[in-house]
Chains A and B, each alone.
Chain A
Amino acid sequence: MITVRNIEKRYGNAPVLRDLSFSVKAGEIFGIVGHSGAGKSTLLRCFNGLTTYEGGSVKVMDREVADLNEEGLRELRRDMGMIFQNFSLMSRKNVFENVAFPLRIWNSRKPGRDPEITGRVMELLELVGLAEKRCERVQNLSGGQKQRIGIARALALNPKILLCDEATSALDPKTTLNILDLLQSINDRFNLTIVVVTHQMEVVKRLCHRLLLLDKGISRCMGKTEELFLAPPEGLKDLAGEEYALVPSGANIRILFPREISQQSVITDMARELDISFSIVGGKLERYIDDVLGFLVINVPDEHFERVCHHMRQKNLHWEILADDNNAFQRPQ
């Protein structure tokens, strides 16, 4: 759907994007993650030509964005919806007219367009659950409702790709979850490719199939969301802000719960089979798209350490030993 090769982007002399290459597959939800100023939003705007790039190639639906003329860019943008952090709705138009706006600019010369537009707008408002607010002015809506209108507007022209620029950053946690559920159901129903730019880890975990971690315009890591979060590389750990309370004696072992063992009772099985006691000192279990995944850190007394290691190897568990002095985990040999 989108293929980026060695893209380079500068503002004056300051590089914003440096030698990035990746691709977004049709039908997937792809996350672009990073701190503010990492170049995420700029990268997103290269996809629909809202900003230009100096080097490399961005191919969207087999079209090289930099080669398109004004008309070609407009055609491309018609196939790409976009939603924004601050919703960017027109304050003087009501809900209905905001959603109708993309339809009106693309059908201005078509006669008899009004019933068609009305039908489509009502369909979209039903989809986002705000049909009864159609005559309301947008100022009177809550943030979550505004973003729903933004989503309805972005879907008006039946786009193939939806770009989300920090779409939930201005919303409270509960509203964020509602919007994420809506985006996910849209992805399921219409097989719409979605590119999500965010700094919010819960958004990535709950929504994205794959992610790209950006840091100062450089790709730090890329891959499947669950794999990256279960064994996070340094950059992602910073962003996720993970910390563990450590017990000074004994060995701290982190057991990962990837998808294939998330339903098994790993901890209790181990305690029963080895007939030992150990304490759980930390961990994180979270919902990833449709499963609960994560890790637990257990503290094992030194005398049982070898037996526990042996057991975990037998059971084919994913685990790491936490070094005494710092937070870095070491892979078992």
Chain B
Amino acid sequence: MITTLFSALNETLYMVFLSTLFSAVGGFGLALPMILTGPHGLRPNAGIYTALDTAVNLLRSFPFMILMIALIPFTRLVAGVAYGNTATVVPLTISAIPFMARLVEGSLLEVDPGVVEAARAFGASDSQIICRVMVKEALPSIILNLAVLAITLLGYSAMAGAIGGGGLGALAYNEGYIRFRADIMFCAVAVLIVVVQCLQSGGNYLYKKLR
């Protein structure tokens, strides 16, 4: 059973790591134009902001299960296959990008507007303000949100079993629940609890250290 658990943990970490990485990059990329064009941004633009804002809300409204199935053709295009662990990374990433964009937007909005104004007053350009002031000041909060993102993706990855993915969630459901192996179910859940704890503590530690 230990080996089963370990390989399931391995699969889970593989899916969570890759999807966290990709959605962090994507979410960050989406958050920057939102912050820039937002009502109090450096280049307010109601049209662009409303479009991005609506798109983010739209994508976040999808139940993950439905999104995963709806994305199957896209997944096949990107990952080459439509099922399995690697294939699961695609819908996980797509669903998490707008979530991460919101989290990063929130972190960047928390940056003291006075500090941004001061940077403008010394002649900093927009890119300098974003990279050297806003992102730098918001970094601890962004790291903390990264832990939130990873934990959310850990939860979603449990549904990977539906498209042939593995991992602890699939193990707990397919082997534990369906086949009446309560011991496997409990152990898988216990490992998940430990993983969540580790992610959150790691995030908290980095937040305190960087602040």
Residue interface mask B105-126, A partner, CB < 8 A = 1:
0000000101101111111110
**Complex: how many Å from CA A156 to CA B122?**
10
Question: Would you call A148 an interface residue if the criterion is a C-beta within 8 Å of the partner chain's C-beta atoms?
Answer: no
Min C-beta distance of A153 to chain B, whole Å: 8
**Complex: how many Å from CA A191 to CA B86?**
67
Question: Would you call B132 an interface residue if the criterion is a C-beta within 8 Å of the partner chain's C-beta atoms?
Answer: yes
Tell me whether A82 and B118 are in contact (CB under 8 A).
yes
Given contacts A50-B120, A77-B121, A78-B122, contact A92 B132 (CB under 8 A): no
Question: Number of residues in B with C-beta < 8 Å to the partner?
Answer: 21
Tell me whether B114 and A90 are in contact (CB under 8 A).
no
- For residue A108, which residue of chain B has the nearest CB? B128
Residues of A within 8 A of B137 (CB): 90-92
Given contacts A91-B137, A92-B137, A105-B132, contact A74 B115 (CB under 8 A): no
| Chain A residues touching B, majority SS | mixed
Question: Would you call B208 an interface residue if the criterion is a C-beta within 8 Å of the partner chain's C-beta atoms?
Answer: no
Tell me whether A92 and B118 are in contact (CB under 8 A).
no
Residues of B within 8 A of A87 (CB): 114
Count, A-B residue pairs, CB within 8 A: 72
Question: Number of residues in A with C-beta < 8 Å to the partner?
Answer: 32
Within 8 Å by CB of A82, from B112, B121, B128, lies B121
Question: Would you call A80 an interface residue if the criterion is a C-beta within 8 Å of the partner chain's C-beta atoms?
Answer: yes
Tell me whether B122 and A88 are in contact (CB under 8 A).
no
Residue interface mask A112-154, B partner, CB < 8 A = 1:
0000000000000000000000000000000000000000011
**Complex: how many Å from CA A97 to CA B137?**
13
Tell me whether A77 and B120 are in contact (CB under 8 A).
yes
Question: Would you call A157 an interface residue if the criterion is a C-beta within 8 Å of the partner chain's C-beta atoms?
Answer: yes
**Complex: how many Å from CA A80 to CA B137?**
24
Question: Would you call A181 an interface residue if the criterion is a C-beta within 8 Å of the partner chain's C-beta atoms?
Answer: no
**Complex: how many Å from CA A259 to CA B8?**
87
Tell me whether A80 and B115 are in contact (CB under 8 A).
no
**Complex: how many Å from CA A76 to CA B122?**
9
Knowing that A78-B123, A104-B132 are A-B contacts, what are 6 other residue pairs whose CB atoms are under 8 Å apart, sorted by A's residue number? A50-B121, A77-B122, A84-B118, A90-B115, A93-B136, A157-B123
Q: What are 25 A-B interface contacts by the 8 Å CB criterion?
A: A50-B121, A70-B125, A73-B123, A74-B123, A77-B120, A77-B121, A77-B122, A82-B118, A82-B121, A82-B122, A84-B114, A88-B114, A88-B117, A90-B137, A91-B137, A92-B139, A92-B140, A92-B211, A105-B122, A105-B125, A105-B132, A106-B123, A153-B122, A156-B122, A163-B121
